[in-house]
Chain A
Amino acid sequence: MSDIRKAYVRPLDIKHGRVDMAHGAGGRAMAQLIEELFAKYLGNEYLAQGDDGALLPPPGEGRLVMATDAHVVSPLFFPGGDIGSLSVHGTINDVAVMGAKPLYLSAAFIVEEGFKLADLARIVQSMAAASLAAGVPVVTGDTKVVERGKGDGVFITTTGIGLVAPGRELSGRCARPGDAILVSGTLGDHGMAIMAERESLGFESPIVSDTAALHGLIEAMQDSGAEIHVLRDPTRGGLATTLNEIARQSGVGMMLEEKCLPVNRAVSAACEFLGLDPLYVANEGKLVAICAERDAGKLLAAMCAHPLGEAAAIIGRVHQDEHHFVQMSTIFGGKRIVDWLSGEQLPRIC
């Protein structure tokens, strides 16, 4: 019998403990953090390989899509979600709007020394729940710890890989004059939820972030058989900025109908109160679709039939315009430009 005694490893004190520099130093403390926190909640066969990278099976026929997104949202917890679920949804959506089926995620954490392990656990659990619900596992990850004051709690970068079926072509370059423009639901919920939480505005009816993974909705939209040309998720800069990007990429103009824009009443009131425009406020669970005019009704019906697209609406048309202006016909009957967001409406929204 060996004389080497087996050391007793005291479990992480998730309840009262805090992250210290050793947790990012590559030694036992880090191994323990990974094992008792990340692996415990996010665990799957690829993560369990325990190597420097995940070995993945060949994904099948088609092309690969890869997207990455850094999340620095403040506050970390907000009505409707937190940085954990947000970092899963954000990247899945970036992959999915390319027309791809999201397959795998990676996650890199930059944690500030002194961050509560309880909060980190809550975030990781929320990531795990989001990843499980979406059916997209986190297959590899990394953790770094920075000195107190050099970070702000935790930053999370996620990367996603997805597979686009052969023959499928979605791009911001594909909008054509005559196409219809649709959104999948109300605008500005995420940004206003963050804003209300950050400024402790305490609105009577709480505004909840719309953070959600959209690949299910997108699948339903593609199954409808509608000829979709562009999909994009209007996150930072809101719908206005996203449409301007597409107009520039595709070399077209757009005309929106103000009366058709879906905006939640509480968001509209909060925007009014703060002097913000819901068109420029971030979304995390909405998409813009541009499709052939003849298929607009079919696509709208498919969207409305999905729980994440219940409030979907046709909001405008694409037309020829060498200046690539996005314009709007106002409820007043006048016209105006819907310009790029200038400067920053709200920092650190996602």
Chain B
Amino acid sequence: MKYIDEFRDGELARGLAQAIHREADPARSYHFMEFCGGHTHAISRYGVSDLLPVNVRMVHGPGCPVCVLPIGRIDQAIGLVLEQGVTLCTYGDCLRVPASDGLSLLRAKARGGDVRMVYSSADAVTLAQKNPDKQVVFFAIGFETTTPPTAVAIRQAAALGLKNFSVLCCHVLTPPAITSILESPEVRQWGTVQIDGFIGPAHVSTIIGSRPYEFFAEKYRKPVVIAGFEPLDVMQAIRMLVRQVNENRGEVENEFSRAVSRDGNKKAQQLVADVFAMRESFEWRGLGELPDSALRIKSQFTEFDAETRYSLDYRSVPDHPACECGAVLRGVKRPQECKIFGTVCTPENPVGSCMVSSEGACAAHYTYGRYKDV
């Protein structure tokens, strides 16, 4: 199929694989973190790691919106549904994330809560318009890619004068997460996690551009190659990273030039700036409290802020003690190194968030790669 098959061509993949084998120095080892769950998924689904030399290892990063959402935020959403009786709209992946008291949004739905799966924030606005007697809350999650649509929804609700629509805003930012990983003791002090470069986000970068990553390249001397989510994009990016490491460079390169520019989408950035402001701090699963790492709704749109409307307090809830999602999200552990991976924790009964979304490292390994563990 046009515009798809070209990016999944097996011949080209083998050619790229040969080039990587040729260029990777056998005396070195290369550890690259793919930040995004989209890349994790592509790598697992197409068996990309099978094509790489043994000394080129991919480390899964935290760029899966559902995975980094802490239990406390899901609890807030469930509270809105079961205690306040709101109609909660969210993206499908959120429904199965385990929360406190053995609940998830899916289970809250089974208990009579009104939880709807939507494909876009606009669907939530339409639902509010059509049901003036219901309080509709959009559970907004995701990185910079999903933030502009939420901004549009809020502006649209304001223009329509909707009194029954609000947003539980859990939008997070990519650069602080990368900083957190590079500043983690495993990488900086103890050196237990080796990261020689990053495959930079695809869709996020279409919005924010490639400029924000220049800081990482400069300050930490780590190469960043922004890549699309197609498997050939990933292969090409790995080759570019190998080259940078070989040449001792630490630069931002853009493999995804068909969609990403240096400055990104300025209109989308402006929309976001109009509606959202920086939160002082936000809890991430796995990465903990990170300053300036997430967005809140600006005071001029406060009537659409579910946290204000329902006076929600945030309560941090620790992960299941055996769950290693935190370490997996930081690249410290691989999914199969978690004791409960594939036994207690499976896609049917996820204990941690990384087993929920298809972009989660544990779900990707369980679904596509666990034959390698036997």
Binding-face segment, B27-35, B167-175, B193-201, B363-371: B363-371
A325–B366 Cα distance when bound, in Å, is 12
Q: Please tell me which one of the listed residues A265, A269, A342 contacts residue B348 in the complex, with CB atoms under 8 A apart.
A: A342
| Interface of B, helix, strand, loop or mixed by DSSP | helix
Q: Please tell me which one of the listed residues A274, A335, A342 contacts residue B347 in the complex, with CB atoms under 8 A apart.
A: A342
Interface bin, chain B: 20 to 34
- Given the interface pairs A333-B14, A337-B369, the reply to whether A343 lies near B348 with Cβ below 8 Å is yes
Contact A339 B368 (CB under 8 A): yes
The answer to whether the Cβ of A331 comes within 8 Å of any Cβ in the partner chain is yes
The answer to whether the Cβ of A332 comes within 8 Å of any Cβ in the partner chain is yes
Residues of B within 8 A of A327 (CB): 371
Contact A342 B51 (CB under 8 A): no
- Given the interface pairs A199-B119, A342-B348, A343-B96, the reply to whether A337 lies near B370 with Cβ below 8 Å is yes
Q: Please tell me which one of the listed residues B47, B119, B348 contacts residue A334 in the complex, with CB atoms under 8 A apart.
A: B47
Contact A333 B1 (CB under 8 A): no
How many residues on the A side are at the interface (Cβ–Cβ under 8 A)? 22
Contact A337 B10 (CB under 8 A): no
Task: Give the A-B contact count at a CB cut-off of 8 A.
Answer: 70
A160–B298 Cα distance when bound, in Å, is 61
Min C-beta distance of A66 to chain B, whole Å: 30
Residues of B within 8 A of A334 (CB): 46-51
Closest to A342 in B: B347
For window 300-340 of A, CB contacts with B under 8 Å fall at 323, 325, 327, 330-337, 339
The answer to whether the Cβ of A294 comes within 8 Å of any Cβ in the partner chain is no
Min C-beta distance of B228 to chain A, whole Å: 14
Contact A337 B371 (CB under 8 A): yes
The answer to whether the Cβ of A268 comes within 8 Å of any Cβ in the partner chain is yes
For window 341-357 of B, CB contacts with A under 8 Å fall at 346-348
For window 46-62 of B, CB contacts with A under 8 Å fall at 46-51
Contact A333 B50 (CB under 8 A): yes
The answer to whether the Cβ of A272 comes within 8 Å of any Cβ in the partner chain is yes
The answer to whether the Cβ of A28 comes within 8 Å of any Cβ in the partner chain is no
Contact B14 A323 (CB under 8 A): no
Contact B374 A336 (CB under 8 A): no
Closest to A345 in B: B92
The answer to whether the Cβ of B13 comes within 8 Å of any Cβ in the partner chain is yes
Contact B46 A336 (CB under 8 A): yes
Closest to A272 in B: B4
Contact B46 A268 (CB under 8 A): no
The answer to whether the Cβ of B231 comes within 8 Å of any Cβ in the partner chain is yes
A334–B49 Cα distance when bound, in Å, is 8
Residues of A within 8 A of B40 (CB): none
Contact A336 B45 (CB under 8 A): yes
A333–B10 Cα distance when bound, in Å, is 7
The answer to whether the Cβ of A259 comes within 8 Å of any Cβ in the partner chain is yes
Contact B369 A332 (CB under 8 A): no
3 tightest Cβ-Cβ pairs between the two chains A and B: A334-B47, A342-B347, A334-B50
